[in-house]
Amino acid sequence: MYKSIFVTLCLFISSFSLIARTSDNGDGTFTNPILWGDWPDPDVIRVGDTFYMVSTSMHYVPGCPILKSRDLVNWEMAGYAVDRYDEDPRYDMQGGQLYLNGSWASSIRHHNGKFYVFFCTPYGWGRDTGHFSVCEAPSPEGPWTRTIFPEYLYDPGVLIDDDGRKYVVHGQHHLYVTELADDMKSVKGDRRLIWDKGVWNTDSTRSGGMEGSHVYKINGMYYITCPAGGTEGWQMCLRSKSIYGPYESKVIADDSSTYPPNGIHQGGMVQLKNGDWWFIIMQDRGPIGRVVNLLPVKWVDGWPMLGVNGKDVATYDKPDVGRRSKPTVPATSDEFDAPKLGLQWQWNHNPDNTGWSLSERKGYIRLRARVADDLKSARNTLTQRVQGPMGEGVVELDVSHLRDGNVAGFGIFEFPYAYVAVQMADGVKKVVMVNDGAVVETPVADLKSDKIWIKVRTTDRDFTARFQYSLDGHTFYPVGNELVMGLGLPWTANRFALFNFSVTPEGVDGAADFNWFRFRSN
Q: What residues are annotated to the active site?
A: 41, 211
The CA distances from residue 21 to 69, 325, 456, in Å, are 16, 16, 17
CA distance linking residue 23 with residue 35, whole number of Å: 7
Phi-psi region of 437 (alpha: psi -120 to 50; beta: other; left: phi over 0): left
The amino acid that residue 109 corresponds to is R
The alpha carbon of residue 130 and the mean position of all alpha carbons in its chain are separated, in whole angstroms, by 21
CB 210 within 8 A of CB 225: no
Q: 293 burial class (0-12, 13-18, 19+ CB within 10 angstroms)?
A: buried
CB atoms within 10 A of CB 296: 16
Helix (H) or strand (E) holding 11: helix 8-11
Q: Cβ contacts of residue 387 below 8 Å, gap of 6+?
A: 20, 21, 36, 37, 288, 289, 332, 458, 519, 521
The amino acid that residue 260 corresponds to is P
CA distance linking residue 410 with residue 458, whole number of Å: 14
Q: Cβ contacts of residue 443 below 8 Å, gap of 6+?
A: 1, 431, 433, 469, 477, 479
Phi and psi for 404 in degrees, rounded to 5?
Answer: -55, 135
Q: 125 burial class (0-12, 13-18, 19+ CB within 10 angstroms)?
A: exposed
CB 281 within 8 A of CB 267: yes
The CA distances from residue 411 to 300, 350, 513, in Å, are 48, 20, 15
Q: Cβ contacts of residue 438 below 8 Å, gap of 6+?
A: none
Q: Cβ contacts of residue 72 below 8 Å, gap of 6+?
A: 34, 44, 51, 270, 278, 280, 294, 318, 319, 321
Q: What does the chain come to in residues? A: 522
